[in-house]
Structure 1
Amino acid sequence: MTRLLTALAICIVAAPARGTESPLAEKFLHDGRLAEGETALLVVLDAAPKDDTTRFGLGMIQFARAVENLGRALYEYGCVSEKATQPFLRLPVPKNDAPAVISYRALGRILDAFATDLQRAERTLAGITDDKVKLRLRLANVAFDFAGTGESHTTLIDLLNTLNGGRFGFQTDNPEFRVHFDRGDVAWLRSYCYLLSAMVEGYRSVDEEAGFEVRVRDIFPKVAPPAREPDPNWLGGLKVVDPPRLRRARLHMVAVCELNRETWMHIRVETDDDYEWLPHPKQTDQLGLPLTDERIDAWLAMMAQGEELLKGERLVPGFLISFVFREHPVEQGLNLKTLLDDPPADLLNEKRLRLKGIDAKYLEPEKGKKLLDLSTLGPINQLFNGPFGFAYAARLN
């Protein structure tokens, strides 16, 4: 989860400048006036709807607002982020001495609102078509008003240092955290919007109210008891209560795979070396985490396999399933698309799976079908192993 939250924080960006002047969006970001900034850029875009510079700035302010709104909700309930390991709860927010009482359903509403904010930003970014769009930004002083008072702000660099447990090396040579974002980074940020939205949809598709109070009692000072008692007749597994959300999660992840391909299609043809966010091997990396062609190729190969699995064009092979369920017929592969689009109510119920196996409607004969190639995953483990493997993976999604 640290990987996702670190990436969530570091991808807050603003509109590009024309020339070298500070862009309009950067001023609002530095002042922590994100709602005003969104309004201002909407007005500019209304007057010049083909201006992708303004559109980029609008999308980035909307993304920043998604992060700030999430932080404000966590602050309202007194989230103690340093004690959290759960997704989205590790965003550092100020201490609230008078927190509200959190409930399972309230947290669900917070996450739904976050996903809605992300999709608004993604829709704006998706309208960018100018391959030469450029964002000249100073990210260190991007400010978030998590308390909602307008009096105290958390800067992006402080947020990053908190998540990192100390200062980053780039702060010595690039204290303003200057990055010039370009067309490939548009696709990268859209991909992150989809990735985080997929996580929300997946979590919200199942009922995890039972045990919620115990899971979060160290994170939130005041937790409401569950609204209902656990079902004594429940036989186990994930209790799917909103199946369409799993389908939406699948479609979001398909978009992640597609946008990873688009990201590197643009980045690999760049000829400049201009404060790059995601650099190809001949460019300078601002974070000190240069990427090799070998790493990029391995990542894209994994994304391609994932995309085909999620589209039902490639099956999970039967021999792999038989390692877990010995009676599974090895010539029958699992169609992940079918499973996620029409899941059983007790998804991942181990007892049922061991007794009855996987429902036949999710299986297909392997003959003539592409299968998950485990050899594609091997290079990922090797190339992203080591002390900085986590950081490399976070940057790539």
Structure 2
Amino acid sequence: MTRFSSLLASALILLLPVSSAGAAAPEPAALFEAKTVADRDSTLTALEAAAPTDPASVYAAGAGQFFTALEILAGGLHRHGFESPQSFMLPLMRLPVPDNPNPEPLTYDGFRTILVAFRDRLEKSAATLGSVPAGADIGIEVDLTRLGIDLNEDGQIAPDESAAAIMASLSRGGAPDPAAPALTFRFDRADGYWLQGYAEFLMAQAGFWLAHDFKNAFDGSFHMLFPRAKLPLQDALVPPDGGMSGGMLSSEWRIADFISLVHLVNWPVVEPERRQAARRHLMEMIRLSREDWKAIRAETDNDREWLPGPQQKGASPLTGLEVGEEQVQAWHAALDMAEDLLEGRTLLPHFRIADKGINMKRFFDEPKPFDLVLSITGPAIAPYLETGKILTGEEFDQIQRQFGGAGFLTFALWFN
């Protein structure tokens, strides 16, 4: 599988289990090896009950809540006959949801309800993971071929719904492969910060959508994602077979609908507090990444690490990459850069404006209608232009060079 696809998939589906801390709580490993949703949910309920007195149960419960958030999203998409565009241009829509021959109709309000449930469950996960003591001694081996998510709402967690199978599917396109190769890791306290950070990242994405009224985009283009869910233009624009084989740019009608989507991203703000919260989630993600690396650097073992530090030698079985001091220093520089942008201390450059930059703190905190095309061409970002320190291409290029041949994006998806 490609490094990029593996990392993106793992960012969306990986859950970090932990060891049991006592007889009062169920074995956390059972939560991540369950073959049915009922068994998984009963174990999660028991872990949540034990969590107040057992750090391992807190950690496991938070991971399980993240898991069920992804299942809420996958189930909602499957229920309405979602067909993945297999495109990184729509990152929340990458899950390889199985075909549904009898999808239910979907409305704009129904789609928002799915996003709200997904986002709220992530918030619960982040809060639970955030309550794990910093020094908790946690760790368990996990084979990703046994860790799964119910993609089709049949109550089962089948081999082709495992994390490893989904990762393999995302790397090559098509349906998940139940024969995906084993990937076993031992997850520890540092990885809890990693997972919590990804929960914050996904909350920021979902929250940004929910901050706006995107009904026109939904009505005018989402039949490319839900071709049989009775969207307003299905009868007029979806081909007779109603199918979507291949990627986003594999057919004329899909290209046309994607152009429609871009054109229709002119979204009024309806819940400004969600756009403001999106910035806070991204800031929290940055903080958690720093905590993650602080914990990683303190580790003295080297036991099947999900995210190894420079002192933990050897290439990762997930990425084939070895982490060196230069990459860690570059990542911290990238975190500082992102924080400065989100706090408005550094301004984001625009290609057509030489002496001013975009204040991203004000972009989130003083929300105005979001128009994608006019943001690219300039008019929509004019209210956020200021004089001050502007990020230069050389600053970012320097960070890119430090990451080497694998590139910044590969490490960013892995490091979080």
Q: If the TM-score is normalised by the length of the shorter chain, which range does it land in?
A: 0.7 to 0.9
Given the alignment, which residue of 339, 342, 351 partners 2:363? 339
Given the alignment, which residue of 338, 347, 352 partners 1:324? 352
Q: Which residue of 1 aligns with 2:223?
A: 217
Residues 384 and 393 in structure 1, CA contact (< 8 A), matched pair in contact too: no
Structure 2 CA distance, aligned partners of 1:193 and 1:356?
Answer: 29
- SS at 1:200 equivalent: helix
Q: Which residue of 2 aligns with 1:114?
A: 118
Q: 1:236 to 1:264 in 2, by over 3 A?
A: closer
Q: 1:215 to 1:292 in 2, by over 3 A?
A: farther
Normalised TM-score (structure 2): 0.78
Q: Which residue of 2 aligns with 1:290?
A: 322
More helix by share: 2
Q: Gaps (5+ residues) in structure 1?
A: 227-233
Q: 1:196 to 1:292 in 2, by over 3 A?
A: same
- SS at 1:185 equivalent: helix
Structure 1 CA distance, aligned partners of 2:74 and 2:129?
Answer: 22
Given the alignment, which residue of 148, 152, 159 partners 2:153? 148
Alignment of 1:25 onto 2:56: no
Q: 1:238 to 1:157 in 2, by over 3 A?
A: same
- 1:84-103 alignment, distance < 5 Å: 86-103=90-107
Q: 1:308 to 1:273 in 2, by over 3 A?
A: same
Q: Which residue of 2 aligns with 1:189?
A: 195
Shift of residue 237 of structure 1?
4.7
Shift of residue 60 of structure 1?
0.8
Given the alignment, which residue of 53, 56, 61 partners 1:58? 61
Structure 2 CA distance, aligned partners of 1:123 and 1:248?
Answer: 15
Structure 1 CA distance, aligned partners of 2:81 and 2:99?
Answer: 6
Aligned residue type for 1:89: M
Q: 1:81 to 1:237 in 2, by over 3 A?
A: closer
- SS at 1:40 equivalent: helix
Alignment of 1:104 onto 2:102: no
Structure 2 CA distance, aligned partners of 1:110 and 1:94?
Answer: 18
Q: Which residue of 2 aligns with 1:127?
A: 131
Shift of residue 118 of structure 1?
0.7
Q: 1:151 to 1:274 in 2, by over 3 A?
A: closer
Residues 201 and 246 in structure 1, CA contact (< 8 A), matched pair in contact too: yes
- 1:293-308 alignment, distance < 5 Å: 293-308=325-340
- 1:163-174 alignment, distance < 5 Å: 163-165=170-172
Q: Which moved more, 1:343-352 or 1:237-246?
A: 343-352
Structure 2 CA distance, aligned partners of 1:348 and 1:72?
Answer: 29
Shift of residue 390 of structure 1?
4.5
Aligned residue type for 1:118: L
Q: Which residue of 1 aligns with 2:212?
A: 206
Percent of matched pairs sharing the same residue: 29
Aligned residue type for 1:145: D
1:264-283 per-residue CA deviation (whole Å, 9 max, x = no partner) reads 11111211111111101231
- SS at 2:92 equivalent: coil
Given the alignment, which residue of 75, 78, 81 partners 2:81? 78
- SS at 1:133 equivalent: coil
